[in-house]
Each structure stands twice: as C-alpha cells, then as structure tokens.
Structure 1
C-alpha cells in the first residue's frame, strides 16, 4: 500500500534494534498480514510505530523474539531473547505510566494489546496471550459503556471498525478450544456489520463481515446451550437474536456470490473467499441448530458435513507443503489453512457419522502443529477423546444415511481446555454432556 519508512526513533536505536525492525518488516509483518489484515500490518502499524513509543517497543520486541526462533547459535538466541523481553517490558511500562487515560488514544492501546498477544504466542504463553486478548476486548466494549473503564480518546474510528476490531474477533474465533468465549467485542461496532450490503466491495470487506458474523454465531451457540424456559422473555430475546443472525448469514452468502460474479477479485482473492465459505457454513450450522433441545439436530447436516470434508481436503491439498517456522509463521501459500480448521473441528465433533468424522480427524492431523492460538496436537487429542466418550454408547440410533451413531445422552455438547486451574505441567479438560460433566487432568505437551 505504501513504502515502509523507518521510524525516527530507529536512528537512535541500536544495530540490534535496526535488525529487529527489518526482520519485522520483511518476515513477521508479511506473515501476519496473510492471516489478518494487510493494510494494518503493512501500513497502519508501521506508521503508528513512528509516533507511539509503546507501539515502537512492541514491534521491536515481536521482531526480535520472532527472529530468535530462526537462530541456531545458543548465545545469540539468548541475546535476542533478553533484548526482546527488554523491549516488551518497555512497551508495557510506556502503556501504564500515564496517569490520565484520556491522554492515550484507544487505537494505540488496542494496537499494543494486539502485538502483546503475538509476543506471548511467540513465547509459548497462551494463557498470557488470552489475558491480553481479554483486556483488549474489555477496552473495546468500554467504548460503548462510559465509566466502566478509563476513557480513551478515539482519533480514528474507521481504523477501529475496519482493522482493529476484526483482528480481536479473529483471535477470539481462533482460540475457541480454550473455552472462555469472549463477548463479541462491542455492540456498536458489530451493529455496523448488521446490515449486510447487496455485494461486497472487495475481499477485505467480505472478510470483516464474516469475521464479525462468525464471532457472533459462535458466542450465540454457546450462550444458547442452557436456554431459558420457552415462555420467558429471555427466550423470546434469544429467538429474535437467532432470526437476526440467520438473516445476516443468508445476506453474507448472497453478497459473497455477487462479489464472486464480479471482476473485482483476483484469482488469489477468489480462493480466499472459498476458504471463508467453509467457516461460514459452520456459522450457519451453529445458529440454525441453536435453541434445539438435543444434539441430534446436528445429524440433519450429515451430507453438508461430507461436502465440508471434501472441500477442506481440496484446500489442504493445494497447500500440501507446509514450511515450519517459529510459532507465528507459515508460508504465504499456507496462510489460509486455518480457515478450514474450525469447520473440520465442527465436523469431527458434531458429525456422529463414524466415517465422515474420522475423515475430518485425519485432515486435522495434517495441519500445521502451531499457528497463533491454534495447537493441532491439542485439538486432535480433544477430538479423539470426544469420539471415545461418545462411541462408547452406540445403541440403536441411526443418522439419515442409516449408520448407527451415538445416543443423545452420550454426546458432548461442549468442551473446554482450561489453563487457569492447573500448574505448568497439567491442564483441565472438561467435556459437557446434556446431564453430566466429564472432567479430566491432562499432561501438557
């Protein structure tokens, strides 16, 4: 979008800082821009680092710690680690030293939160990353609730809506395995996405609407697990919310099809839209099945599950060569693999057809071991355990294809991997059935 210029403070930085900034611009930023938002990572963030010391130190910290993972020499790795942590601490100090919150812009605080999340992911501290994610979401939500948190001034509302909030939504959607589903970032911002246009201007707009919609659908599915009595006002409100989400889901599908018919997309972006359509289908399943009284409602989608697996296999085969680099990294070709992960997880856990769910599990095993909040090994362990728990109750129930599937009482409605209630070597995994809960202690790693 624009030539990257060196921040003035870089002139006063050390040679190591210059190297870290160059590494961030040439390696880290392009990788992150594949996963999230090109304009944010390649332009807005780098421009902001020129004037915001917190953002500057955050960028240097992330670039240094990311490069550390590519270095073989132990002494040099240690030097990078120390320098990265030093800049990380400076960024946090800069962020907290202000006595008057009104002197800070919401944009700079939230952008710092985003980079802090990435730093903690590189350090392998998922719990710390989620804490920063939670803090950022609370700040965004506070923009609609004066007095709930310190007030930050907003200098660029469009940046928040188009670039910052979608990244928080993306992080939220990607970290679903850890169970603490965060409230969709801010009601006012999400209402801006309520009225889906007849068509999208470009891929970025389609992605932002979808990310907002996926976050809302996932949150609604969890919220409706313990639905109130159907005669209550709360149930009426939930039903109205469900109908609104269904309308938005259909609106997105129609607008995406119109965009695909146009000449406004490159072949590359057309492929990206096809990946998004996978998780969009899952959002549809979540919402349409919400408020139903049993898990058997998901059996009606058995043919859709089969189609999702086949399309995911095609997408995965197109990206069959995965280049394993430090935690944030992956080749540009592989940058959209995770768009297929959530659908495969849904198929493996909600489709009780033994053949189809195992096909999904096989594909999950082929995914990168770690990208962002995503931990393939952990997810595969969770799915394998769900299959064991459910298929211990094969009785006489059959799905629409005629195959025997687990009984309703044995089905897992939700699963949570908790990092808060255990030490550094174990984690608590909770499987929620309709009437009972199975809680297990697992070794980490």
Structure 2
C-alpha cells in the first residue's frame, strides 16, 4: 500500500541570475514501529505495517499513538487525503480515509495483520486474493463498520489460535464486541440516511465469514444469500461493468453462494433457509469476460444441476418417479446443454496454456469440474446406479489430475506466501467434487484413491465437517462391498451388485446434538422396494439400523 510519509520541503534560495537549492535536511524520525526500534534498525514507517517487518517475516506490532509522526499523519489525513493503490484492479477507485479510523493502537494493527495474513486469503480464488487484500484494507480506513467487522474476525481467529489459554475467552468477547459495534454502524441515525451498497455488501460477507467461524451455518448463509439478492436487484437496475459491485462483489457472492448451496444439496435433503431454484437458473450467455466470470457461471450451472437432482432423488421414491419423467428429462437436457455451451465459451477464452501458475491451475481445475458434473449429475436422474460403471476410467483420470492440482497448488503458493491458507480455495472445492466420485464410482481401487485425496485436502475449518464426511464414506464402502458378487465394471474389477448400492445419502439436521454422533439416512432399492438405512456416525462410533420397505420417507 502507498507510503504515507511526510517529505520535508526543499527551500529555494534566490541568487543573481541563478536559482540554488539548499541541501536536503537529514533528520531522524522517531515515529518508527516498535519492532524496528527493538531491532535497532531504521523503519520505513509504511502504514499500517512497515515493509521491513513484512519482508523479513516479522509481525509488525504497529505504531505508538503518542508519536509525533502518527499525530502529524492524522492531521494530514483529516484534510481529505485519499489513498490510491496502483497494484490492483480496483485501484482506480480512491477511498477517503476518515481521521477517526486511522489505526493507532498496537493491538488493532496486530489484529489487522492477522486479517491480512490469514482471513482475507480465503475469501476468493488465488488469482483474486491480492485484489481482495488491497481492497478490504483500504476500505476499512474510510468505513468504521468495515473496520470493526475485520477486527471482529481477527479477534475470533486469535482466540482459536490461543485455544486453552486464558486470553482466548477475552479474544472471543472482543470479537463479539466488535461484531455488535459493526451492526450498530449499519443502523441509520436518521431516516433519510442510506448505507452505501459497497459498505453493505462488505459487511454481509464479513458477517458471513464471522458466523461461519462460529459454526452458525444457518445465520452465515442468511448473510451470504442476503448479499446475493442485493446484487441481483442492483444488477437489474444498473449496467455499469466497471463498478466495484460488478468487478469485486458479484464474483465473490455468486461463487460463494453457489458453492454453499452445492454443498447443501450434496449433504442434506432440504434447505433450512428458503431458496427458490428459479433464482439459480443459469441463463444462456455468449461468452465470458475473464476467469472469474467463467468460474461463477460454472458454479451456477453446477448448483442448479445439484438442486434439480436432489429434488428428483427426493420425489422419485415418494411419487414413484421414473427416469423418463418429463420434468426431470427437461431439467437434465437443459443442464447438459448449458455445460456444453460453457465449455465452448471457455475454450474460446483460453485456447492456449496460460504461463501464470495460479491461473493455469484454476483453468485446469474448472475444466475438471465440468467433466465431473457432466458425468455425475445427469446420472442422478436415473433409477439404477449400475450405469456409473461405464465411467470408471474417466473417474480414475480425474482423481489423478485433481491430486496433481492440489499438490502443485500447495507447493507453489506456500513457497511464495508461506501459508497454508492460500490453498483453501482448492481444498474447499476439490473436496466437494472428489466426494461425488467417491460415492458414485464403485471400483475399489479408484474409490480408495479418491478417499486418500479427500483425507489430504480435508479441512477442520470447513463449513461442513470434512472428517465426518470421510467417516461416512468409509461406512458407505463397507455397506456396499457386502454385495461384491459377480458384477464387473469397465476395468474388469468386481464391484457391488445393484441391490447393495446406496442411491442417495442425506444428513438429517438435528436441533439438539446427539451423544452418539450425526444421523445419516441412506436409501437402497432391495427386491424392487425402497429401504431406508439410518446410520449414526461420529469420528469414532458407527451405529446403524435398517428401516423396512414400506417406509418411503
């Protein structure tokens, strides 16, 4: 970010016929950060963190509020100074800094460093992370509500880091205090006051991130989906492709909303937050403006397909629907056509290999996602599971390529940024799509390779408990492999018979946690009758019961 250093004036001395200048004064500044003072080195006084600390991998603790440099800088900022970044796609926007929000506390600057190094890097794909970092840090100086929202997340993350330390409780209390403070700023003081849409969307996403860390998934999604609906209304009345809403917020909210719903449609039977599938309907498009635009479109198509497939799986039992059901057939055909159009437009946008490592990995990843959903989702409209056996070679190839993408991402990003959180984007999304393969590919070898990849990318900080999902898949494999008889797949391997295969799995939401774990409901078709199998699964215990044929819930 741009240095805010007061440069001394050069005083002109007028002589006979010539203009001379006095020597530039060389004075010693006393406004350096406390870390540089302790190390006895000259601080460059870059705000909010000095470059000397950042480059040398030290955590800059910030600047004293009583220093002359800090006081003078506050006076300069109070005269309407604006801050502009030259390294960001949002750099054309200047955001005025309010004097009362300039960070002066060492505790605040320490927490802002936590946000910069840990929280912001998981907000978007690796290609966009730098822009988000610059944007939020700049925006926080002019908007107190954004500032308190960031400090709330930082306090919460600091509390998780401290764990059993007595200060952890203090950090959590501070997080809630900043959260309430931010909400208070959103309440208009006058009836005529309006909150800027950029501020509102910033808070929606930061509140979503905070509730996610608190494991309040329903409240988290309300904030996320609320921001998504705000953008949809705004886009219906505004056509400014260069606005911050269009270039920054739209890709983030759309991708996260579709990703969240895709997870929900994958793991649960129905949403606890009401969502209309018509709001997710992907409209035909001629082309994409960039990688982010293409990613949003693919996630929207995937989300729509998962929602339709989940509806079919739910109703095919209750109403005895067949594969040729007219409504399901139309949804399946539209879904497939949108995927084909997407691939054509994407290949026109990126016909050659991209030299940028992060961008090349994301391009490769998006093409793999398209292959996975093209193979897995249309098959979920079938009333038999054995047709997946024809795709076993495709599944094996996808698992190998996904493993390569994740390993490459982890190595390259950690080499330059020294953090595991930069691979969060691939962790979260790879898990969902490899999960689809692990439950639909019955080849023992390929399925266990997929499970090994899931164990590698599983994150304890995901919205959904990744390790619980892995335990559920292991139990699923045990159940299905009781039916290893005489069915052979395209690789010649013996796979479970149709009667042993699980058609769909749903996690049953429970308001009160059960001491024996979480309840999963698996559906099988044995002797032409639908059967439910309830399995209560925790990380250590598995308990199962079989429900009789007549129960078609």
Matches of 2:261 and 2:249, distance apart in 1: 16
Match of 1:316 among 406, 421, 438: 406
Query: Structure 2 vs 1, CA of residues 381 and 85 (structure 1 numbering), >3 Å: closer, same or farther?
Result: same
The offset of 1:121, in angstroms, is 3.3
Contact 2:228 2:253 in 1 (8 A): no
Match of 1:440 among 535, 543, 549: 535
1:400-433 CA distances to partner (integer Å, 9 max, x unpaired)?
A: 3333322223222222234534327432222233
Contact 1:221 1:286 in 2 (8 A): no
The offset of 1:62, in angstroms, is 0.7
Contact 1:428 1:441 in 2 (8 A): yes
The offset of 1:53, in angstroms, is 4.7
Match of 1:150 in 2: none
Match of 2:209 in 1: 118
Match of 1:352 in 2: 442
Contact 1:107 1:156 in 2 (8 A): yes
Q: Is the aligned partner of 1:173 residue 2:268? A: no
Contact 1:322 1:330 in 2 (8 A): no
Match of 1:211 in 2: 299
Matches of 1:176 and 1:96, distance apart in 2: 34
Question: Which stretch shows the higher mean deviation, 61-70 or 343-352?
Answer: 61-70
1:336-373 CA distances to partner (integer Å, 9 max, x unpaired)?
A: 23333223212211011112111211222222432432
Query: Structure 2 vs 1, CA of residues 98 and 76 (structure 1 numbering), >3 Å: closer, same or farther?
Result: same
The offset of 1:269, in angstroms, is 0.5
Query: Structure 2 vs 1, CA of residues 86 and 222 (structure 1 numbering), >3 Å: closer, same or farther?
Result: same
TM-score, normalised relative to structure 2? 0.66
Alignment gaps of 5+ in structure 2: 1-87, 541-553
Contact 1:144 1:186 in 2 (8 A): no
The offset of 1:20, in angstroms, is 2.1
Match of 1:383 among 468, 473, 479: 473
Quick check: which one's helix share is greater? 1
Contact 1:203 1:273 in 2 (8 A): yes
Bigger relative contact order (CA 8 A; separation at least 6): 1
Match of 1:431 in 2: 522
Match of 1:129 in 2: 217
Alignment gaps of 5+ in structure 1: 146-152
Contact 2:208 2:220 in 1 (8 A): yes
1:116-166 CA distances to partner (integer Å, 9 max, x unpaired)?
A: 33223333x2xx123321454267458889xxxxxxx99976366433222
Query: Structure 2 vs 1, CA of residues 140 and 334 (structure 1 numbering), >3 Å: closer, same or farther?
Result: closer
Larger Rg: 2
Contact 2:523 2:532 in 1 (8 A): yes
Contact 1:313 1:363 in 2 (8 A): yes
The offset of 1:46, in angstroms, is 4.8
Contact 2:188 2:195 in 1 (8 A): no
Contact 1:427 1:443 in 2 (8 A): yes
SS of 1:370's equivalent? coil
- The size of the alignment, in residue pairs, is 428
Matches of 2:508 and 2:158, distance apart in 1: 30
